[in-house]
Amino acid sequence: MAYRVGVDIGGTFADFCAFDEESGQIETVKVLSTPDTPGQEVIDGLRALEERVGIAPSQISYFTHGTTVGINSIIMRKGIRLCLLTTEHFSDVLELARLKMPDPYDLFSVRPEPLVTRDRVFGVRERLRADGSVDEPLDLDSLRDAIARVRMVGGEGIVISFLHSYRNPQHEAEAAAYIAEIAPELHVYCSHQIRPIIREYERTSTAVIHGYVQPRVAGYLDALQGALRRIGVTPEAMITKSNGGVMSAELGKTACVDMLLSGTAAGVMGAAYVARLAGADKVLSLDIGGTSADVAIIQDGAPGFGTAEYIGDFPIFVPTVSVTSIGEGGGSIARIDGAGLLRVGPESAGSTPGPAAYGRGGVEATITDAFVALGLIDLGAVGYGMVSIDRGKAVEAIRPLAEKLGRSVEETAEGIIGIAVSGMYREVSKLCSRRGIGEQEFTLMAFGGGGPMMGCFLARELGMTEVIVPPVPGVLSALGGLTADIRNDFTSTAYFDLAPENISRIRETVAELSTRALEWIVEAQKYSGQPVLMPSAEMRYRGQSFEIEVALDPEALAAGDLAAITRAFYDEHMRLYGHADDGAPIQIIAINMVVTGHSAKPSLPESEVHDREVAPSRMMDVYLDGRPQQIGLYAREMLTPGARPRCPCVIAQNDTTTIVPEGFTGRVDAFGNLILTRGDRHAH
């Protein structure tokens, strides 16, 4: 018997999902995260799989893992002491950034301090022209002086980001070789190797983020590989990537910039997989963990992608699944601010000490404590027995806030939940406005440990009529890693007009990127199937500041059909902005190539649906929607395909709790998804 195992590490729990390749059965476990000893939770979880479920490490045929080591290093600023070498007189590239204030409505807002402060940025005499030709050769005396200054400030690594290196990497390569010769103890990173894009700040920022975390990520992956070998897992570990794909852990040591958002991307890929099974073509995914809520748009079973997502305070310019993070997770802490108002987040109790109700030393009220105080979470053990719920501790944590507000504990707890929902409402509304979509047309898919608790409340506020809760919502990100394909992105700056004389240049660039992509997937990833290549171009009207990505039709490209390529740009511009100038000249700024190697997917069993109403196992006394009431408690395993629980109700399972308020009806589909539909009663 062989199992495919996916792992996702969150702020409170590490989630494990094991898929039986023969029976299609899914087994899941959770263990507590170990932020002080990253990687220990992986070993703890594999041992738990063996002890609780009977899956031995030797039975694991495929292992994929989403890690937060890189992003946590940036958020907590625990990377290496990094220095930056730039072209002389361009040392302020990180300080200037894009000259944007974090909050344009706050005159006192302050931009975050760069990961490499100005005292560790050194200019080097060299200069390339915009076409890549050499204006001034690399001056080795200047470089030698910069290296001496790096040593004086205690630098552990150097990022080299010279002007126009995306066109010609010669000077960066020469500098890296010289540093390796005279200062071999320093880590060295060249911007053209990490992401050779045209804009100076974007290329430098991405290279700095990579260099800042790479030694720590590589060390973590080394330790992970060793631990897996010792415990008896024989397949090469795969790491989920920010773009929704996977790559080998060995490659991840040098390509860590591509895996910084791996956990959130895996969740979205898992949601897309469930959306396809459920037949939902417009889905808004809501992944709530211990520290944050992540929202993504999924259409026709596929997520959106972008290239300017934020890692903590800093933008990263690599292809990623488009996810918006909101600072309200199950462990987000409630407090009274200086004006006497109730606030929630962004501070989180995390896994240590965690919410007060967990009885692990937490004393501050969190969103989870609010649900517990209202009686909406069963007092039995949750998280696969890792945590026991103490309602008294939750009430005691909320009581000081209630006394300051002059309200009851129950009213304050509902206020905490309401504030969290309103914060999500604001951010989701902004996201939908930017994408030009109406949220009322979408289905909300709630997952993560906290998503099913809050999903119906958010859907009600947004005017959405349907919520889907997957069969294993608390570990959907771990399942998402098992649905991901091997995938990578390649880019080449073009910067020329879309004109007949340049068709051959487009073809040559696509051919060169295709060669690189195929070499990567066949040689580096040992992929033996038939790879899929998807070329695209970043295009704009001449004079515009930013581009849009347009798919390149290989047949049109082979035929030299300039009109078809032009029409594709016009159509995409019209779709995004509602207008297009059919006669205006077009520029191609970059040509991209995505290579995908499809992996074997879990095939969840489809069951026969037997429509019936199911009575609850018992009634619960709760405080909900402003009044005390009795509602039913269901065990999720009772709700087989066709089951209809009596709502309002609470549905408990090992990995999460689903709360269904008044106004919703529920049913279970053939794949075990819980479909919650809102009637007209609460329609906006």
The whole-number average pLDDT for the span 45-70 is 89
| Residue 143 backbone dihedrals phi, psi, to 5 degrees | -65, -40
Q: How many CB atoms lie within 10 A of CB 43?
A: 18
Distance (Å) of CA 379 to CA 32, 447, 546, 576, 625 = 19, 21, 53, 49, 21
User: What pLDDT sits at residue 463?
Assistant: 93
Q: Which of 249, 265, 262, 116 is nearest to 191 (CA)?
A: 116
Higher pLDDT, 70 or 103: 70
Q: Inform me whether the pLDDT recorded for 247 exceeds 80.
A: yes
Q: How many CB atoms lie within 10 A of CB 545?
A: 5
Point out which residues pair with 216 in neighbouring strands: none
At position 515, the amino acid (one-letter code) is T
**Helical (H) or strand (E) element with 189:** strand 187-190
Q: Inform me whether the pLDDT recorded for 445 exceeds 90.
A: yes
Average pLDDT, the chain: 89
Instruction: Please give the Cα distance from 610 to 472 (Å, whole number).
Output: 21
Q: Inform me whether the pLDDT recorded for 140 exceeds 70.
A: yes
User: What pLDDT sits at residue 348?
Assistant: 76
| pLDDT digit string, tens, across residues 495-512 | 899 999 999 999 999 999
Least confident of 20-29, 51-60, 566-575: 20-29
505 Cβ contact list (under 8 Å, min separation 6): 494, 496
CA atoms in the 13 A half-sphere facing the CB of 263: 25
Cβ atoms of 259 and 282 closer than 8 Å: no
Instruction: Please give the Cα distance from 277 to 301 (Å, whole number).
Output: 9
Higher pLDDT, 307 or 612: 612
Residues 346-350: contacts with CB within 8 Å, 24+ apart?
A: 346/292, 348/11, 348/290, 348/291, 348/292, 349/290, 350/11, 350/12, 350/33, 350/35, 350/290, 350/291
User: What pLDDT sits at residue 384?
Assistant: 54
At position 633, the amino acid (one-letter code) is L
Quote the percentage of the chain above a pLDDT of 70.
96
Least confident of 32-41, 208-217, 479-488: 32-41
Tokens linked to 40: 């220990």
User: What pLDDT sits at residue 681?
Assistant: 39
The whole-number average pLDDT for the span 595-599 is 89
Q: Which CATH number fits domain 486-597: 1.10.10, 3.30.1490, 2.40.160, 3.40.1620?
A: 3.30.1490
The whole-number average pLDDT for the span 510-526 is 93
Q: Inform me whether the pLDDT recorded for 158 exceeds 60.
A: yes
Domain ranges of the chain: 78-212, 486-597
Cis peptide upstream of residue 102 (ω within 30 degrees of 0) = no
pTM for this prediction: 0.82
DSSP-derived pairing of the beta strands 612-614 and 643-645:
parallel
User: What pLDDT sits at residue 33?
Assistant: 77
The whole-number average pLDDT for the span 58-87 is 88
Residues 433-441: contacts with CB within 8 Å, 24+ apart?
A: 435/297, 435/304, 436/576, 437/282, 437/297, 439/284, 439/463, 439/464, 440/464, 440/465, 441/282
DSSP 608-674: ----EEE--SEEEEEEETTEEEEEEEEEGGG--TTEEE-SSEEEEETTEEEEE-TTEEEEE-TTS-E
Instruction: Please give the Cα distance from 27 to 49 (Å, whole number).
Output: 8
Exposure b/e, 449-476, CB count within 10 A at least 16 = b: bbbbbbbbbbbbbbebbbbbbbbbbbbb
Burial of 332 (0-12, 13-18, 19+ CB in 10 A): buried
Instruction: Please give the Cα distance from 330 to 12 (Å, whole number).
Output: 9
| pLDDT digit string, tens, across residues 366-417 | 999 999 999 998 766 555 556 678 899 999 999 999 999 999 999 999 999 9
Instruction: Please give the Cα distance from 337 to 405 (Å, whole number).
Output: 11
User: What pLDDT sits at residue 305?
Assistant: 81
